Amino acid sequence: MKIKSAEFVISNSEVAKCPKNAIPEYAFIGRSNVGKSSLINMLTDRKSLAKTSGRPGKTQLINHFIINDEWYLVDLPGYGYARVSKSSKKKFQKFITNYFEQRQQLVSAFVLVDIRHKPQPIDLEFMQYLGESGIPFAIIFTKADKLKPKAIENHVKDYCQELLKTWEELPPYFVTSSSKKIGQEAVLDFIESTNNEIAALKG
């Protein structure tokens, strides 16, 4: 998919106030600092469409971006970062779970995990939560520039093995690096073919 346009639309803390348009939507979620906002910039070829930071907890709201006037890309706050505030210490903030449970337009979530780390309980729990809520998801391994190709292969293999302990089938997954621009085409092609399937179903 070619990115012809990518624009910020709105930030919200309530899912009820999110855009009402019935167009396909893809949401990026994962631990704080895993690289969600950076990935959004890499995918859209924009330097600072989504705000990034070296300190965890940068993204605090539900941020909608419209791509090619055709689909929404959503940047979400990270989970698993306790220092944000006392009241939001709960593992998955309520407005995030509300978003996933109520957002009719959501086609698929992308759960981002840092390729350097072993499977973390909080990520596996979030995937479990999505599965139980009937929300399709794909996994995006981030920061692949930090590992050598052989290590990437081993980490992905180990991750898949862990998933197969609880899942019968593996979700789609992608290896990416925002700094080295790895994985852009694969992720965008996945979104494009999913959009095409939806359009075909609609007739």
Ligand X SMILES: Nc1nc2c(ncn2[C@@H]2O[C@H](COP(=O)(O)OP(=O)(O)OP(=O)(O)O)[C@@H](O)[C@H]2O)c(=O)[nH]1
The reply to whether 155 sits near ligand X by the rule CB under 6 A is: no
Count residues binding ligand X (CB under 6 A). Answer: 23
Per-position DSSP letters for 31-69, written without gaps between them: BTTSSHHHHHHHHHT-SSSS---SSS----SEEEEEETT
The reply to whether 59 sits near ligand X by the rule CB under 6 A is: yes
Among 46, 91, 116, 146, binds ligand X (CB under 6 A): 146
The reply to whether 44 sits near ligand X by the rule CB under 6 A is: no
Q: Which does 108 bind (CB under 5 to 8 A by kind): Mg ion, ligand X, none?
A: none
Contact between 68 and 4 (Cβ < 8 Å): yes
The CA distance from 167 to 79, in Å, is 22
For 104-146, the three-class secondary structure string (H helix, E strand, C coil) is: CCEEEEEEEEECCCCCCHHHHHHHHHHHHCCCCEEEEEECHHH
The reply to whether 184 sits near ligand X by the rule CB under 6 A is: no
Cβ-based nearer residue to ligand X, 57 or 131: 57
Q: Which does 21 bind (CB under 5 to 8 A by kind): Mg ion, ligand X, none?
A: none
**What radius of gyration, in Å, describes the C-alpha atoms of the chain?**
16
Q: How far is CA 100 from the centre of its chain?
A: 12
The reply to whether 177 sits near ligand X by the rule CB under 6 A is: yes
The reply to whether 24 sits near ligand X by the rule CB under 6 A is: no
- In the complex, residue closest to ligand X by CB: 78
Q: How many CB atoms lie within 10 A of CB 92?
A: 16
Q: Interface with Mg ion by CB under 5 A: which residues?
A: 36-37, 58-59
Contact between 194 and 107 (Cβ < 8 Å): yes
Query: Measured from the CB of residue 117, what is the shortest distance to ligand X in angstroms?
Result: 13
Cβ-based nearer residue to ligand X, 142 or 184: 142
The residues of the shown chain that bind ligand X, judged by CB under 6 A, are: 32-38, 52-54, 56-59, 77-78, 142-143, 145-146, 177-179
